[in-house]
Structure 1
Amino acid sequence: MSQLESQAPYVDAPPPSSSGLSSRTLTMAVTGILAIVLGGVISLLPAPYAIYAPGPATNVLGKVGPLELITINPPTKSFRPVDGSTLDMTTVSVFGGPGNKVSMLDVLRGWISPTRAVVPVEQVFPPGQTQGEAQAETQAEMSDSQQQATAAGLRLAGYTVPEKITIADVSKGMPAAKVLKADDVITAIDGTKVVDSAHLRATVQKLKPGADVRVTVRRNGTSTELKTTTGSSDGRTVLGVDLKTTYDFPVDVEFATKDVGGPSAGMMFALGIYDLLTEGDLGAGAQIAGTGTIDGAGNVGPIGGIAQKLVGARRAGAKWFIAPQSNCNEVVGHIPAGLHVVSSSNLTQTRDDVEKIATGDGASLPVCKAS
């Protein structure tokens, strides 16, 4: 033993007190209480997450309060179904984000919930976005969705819907930036009249990147033919412009949507408009739900939160659900019992799917499979 160790006094631990708690027991008790308090405080602190939960499903052929969700004027052109069919638009309730922070306790509950999803808040809301900006963005998306749905629904019902394709912005670094300007209205490509935005994109896609192209635009009321060169983006041929489409509708379509934003109801809006403008009941009494973006040409696009929308649809009583084909990987493994999910990529196919469901031939429809 070293000298230092031999000089160190040896002290026995005090015997347990018969009159109260030992110091060790007291320390453990205090530590436990502090841990509980600290855990409670942490659970209430804001967390950098957003939570997706199943939202309500609303029949686009029905009413929101005293108002029809979709109204077509003049009313004589509308054939409202009477057989009890529903075409339900589905929604997701989002908790978290600007002005609506969630706590760690909420996040923990979301993680263990079989019907909710927890994602980093920046996947839903851009950094620094305010509550007002978020609401304005989702309302703008809803408004554009309704315009696109109206064009698609009317066209499917046989109406001619002229559209004006305006350049909203030109990408810097693209050849077109030297000749095309914001607010130019594109009327022709290489001398061929542009019918709609889908036709414009298809025409450009037929060209190779770097190819010469003649773009006819209306600028300040004057038609001008401009020469430029195509570019490339993600393997696609592009002009390098962002487009803004406005329509000249032959009938007025109004929507009574409230407290709902985003573009994902577009497909069901368009389907509802078609049903209202054509005789008979498209669904023949079936309760069908669905989701998907839409463009004026009737193309159905992907949406977010589809797992929660499937749950919301089943809770509302739907037995059939039409999902965007591009969301199929997220559908597989998340289908509630009693719900049959079919996939669709365009509005014509969606209409045909509903007709088959109405005639009892739904089992033949394409279903979602993992790719």
Structure 2
Amino acid sequence: MSRRSATLLTSTLLLIVLFCVAVLLPVPYAEMSPGPTVNTLGKNDGQPVLQISGHRTYPTAGHLNMVTVRVTGADYRMNLIEAVSGWLAHDDSVVPHDTLYPQGQTSQQADQENAEEFTESQDSAKVAALEALKLPVQSRVVVGSVVKGSPAQGKLHAGDVIKAVDGGAVKAPTDVAKLVTKHKAGQTVVFTVVPAKGSGDTDIVASGNVTRNIAIRTAKASDGRAIVGIQAEEAHSFPFTIKIQLADVGGPSAGMMFSLGLIDKLTPGDLTGGKFVAGTGTIDDNGAVGPIGGISLKVIAAREAGAQYFLTPSDNCAEASKDTPAGLRLVKVKTLKDSLNALSDIRSGKTADLPRCPAG
């Protein structure tokens, strides 16, 4: 074999080895890409996304699309070739694995966290929408969860409505801890509750208004505080039934679009004027819109679906403006009211008045 042939053979073998290493060697990265979009006014898998019963609804037109991002799973390990390919792709984003799944979080833990955030966002979306329409929403403090092996286990249950602690009225979840920690560990605290009957799709349902006084001996927390081992949270009661049907979606980022979809269905006329509007953003009970992750990928998904306008949380504006797809107008919003005002301008054709996102 000539020297040249030997050199070529050696180089070829080396390239094969390097390729195999690149394929087999895992790297600590995860990939994000534009995900599907769903019209909150329409159907998903044959079922209406927003289902309302017990209150009059109205026909809708146009689109109010929520958007998603696809991510590789917590247990998936990218190889070097996939990472480089993702870095070179315009529509993908490769990020450190710990950015999406901190502290060794498993797929099951990530799914559970996303599901909880999604449920909370639905609840806030309902509250914000009904508050905007001046429809009554009742709030109450409930037992959200009971720690296994704690003094409260078997005495308090998820869904119990907490009326008072030691006779002190409970108006907010933080009141529970304040009243319990007035005691020393080992002392007894008395909860006045309306026992839970079960949980429904719209709110936690208590068994009437019959209260019970339940005595619990406190334990000592690691910092010395008196505790009983529950997580108190706020729950809401709505004057009619609202269900949000959307499988395989997690996280809080669709909150604002759910609120807008509900308002559109509960009021005559069309919020969009038949236009294709997409958007994203968390929402709280008061209608404040918060930032989300993956905004650059979500605007791509929106435009690929056909959106003309994209309702953008103000704190995401700079990032979203860096590479906005052609044909998509970014509209800056801070509150649900801002979004409603923007939709009013869109359906009336006053697009010059729309608050735009500044360049990044």
TM-score by length of 2: 0.75
Name the structure 2 match of 1:144.
120
- Aligned pair in 2 of structure 1 residues 279, 193: CA closer, same or farther (>3 Å)? farther
Name the structure 1 match of 2:343.
354
Q: Please say which structure displays the higher CA radius of gyration.
A: 1
Name the structure 2 match of 1:102.
78
Counting only pairs closer than 5 Å after superposition, residues 88-167 of structure 1 correspond to structure 2 as 88-98=65-75, 100-165=76-141
Q: 1:61·1:80 contact (CA, 8 Å) conserved in 2? A: no
Name the structure 2 match of 1:73.
53
Name the structure 1 match of 2:225.
none
Name the structure 2 match of 1:304.
293
Choose which of 287, 290, 305 in structure 2 pairs with 1:316. 305
Name the structure 2 match of 1:342.
331
Give the paired residue count: 297
Structure 2: distance between partners of 1:164 and 1:317: 41
1:53 has 2:33 as partner = yes
> Where in structure 1 are there 5+ consecutive unaligned residues?
1-19, 170-181, 201-217, 224-241
Counting only pairs closer than 5 Å after superposition, residues 200-239 of structure 1 correspond to structure 2 as 219-221=191-193
Name the structure 1 match of 2:12.
32
- Aligned pair in 2 of structure 1 residues 127, 315: CA closer, same or farther (>3 Å)? same
Q: Secondary structure at the match of 1:102?
A: coil
Name the structure 1 match of 2:207.
none
- Residue by residue over 1:264-311, the C-alpha shift from the partner in whole angstroms, topping out at 9 and shown as x without a partner, is 000000110111111111111010000000111111111000000000
- Residue by residue over 1:95-144, the C-alpha shift from the partner in whole angstroms, topping out at 9 and shown as x without a partner, is 2422x332222211110111211110101112222221111111111111
Counting only pairs closer than 5 Å after superposition, residues 160-309 of structure 1 correspond to structure 2 as 160-165=136-141, 219-221=191-193, 244-309=233-298
> Where in structure 2 are there 5+ consecutive unaligned residues?
146-157, 175-189, 194-211, 214-230
After TM superposition, give the deviation of residue 56 of structure 1 in Å: 1.1
Name the structure 1 match of 2:154.
none
After TM superposition, give the deviation of residue 78 of structure 1 in Å: 1.3
- Aligned pair in 2 of structure 1 residues 299, 192: CA closer, same or farther (>3 Å)? farther
Name the structure 1 match of 2:220.
none
2:69 corresponds to which letter in structure 1? V
- Aligned pair in 2 of structure 1 residues 166, 328: CA closer, same or farther (>3 Å)? farther
Q: 2:162·2:192 contact (CA, 8 Å) conserved in 1? A: no
- Residue by residue over 1:237-261, the C-alpha shift from the partner in whole angstroms, topping out at 9 and shown as x without a partner, is xxxxx97221011111111101111
Give runs of ≥4 in structure 1 deviating > 4 Å.
165-169, 182-187, 191-194
Structure 2: distance between partners of 1:364 and 1:193: 45
Superposition RMSD on alpha carbons, in Å? 3.0
Q: 2:292·2:316 contact (CA, 8 Å) conserved in 1? A: yes
2:133 corresponds to which letter in structure 1? A
After TM superposition, give the deviation of residue 363 of structure 1 in Å: 2.0
Structure 2: distance between partners of 1:266 and 1:44: 40
Structure 1: distance between partners of 2:356 and 2:305: 21
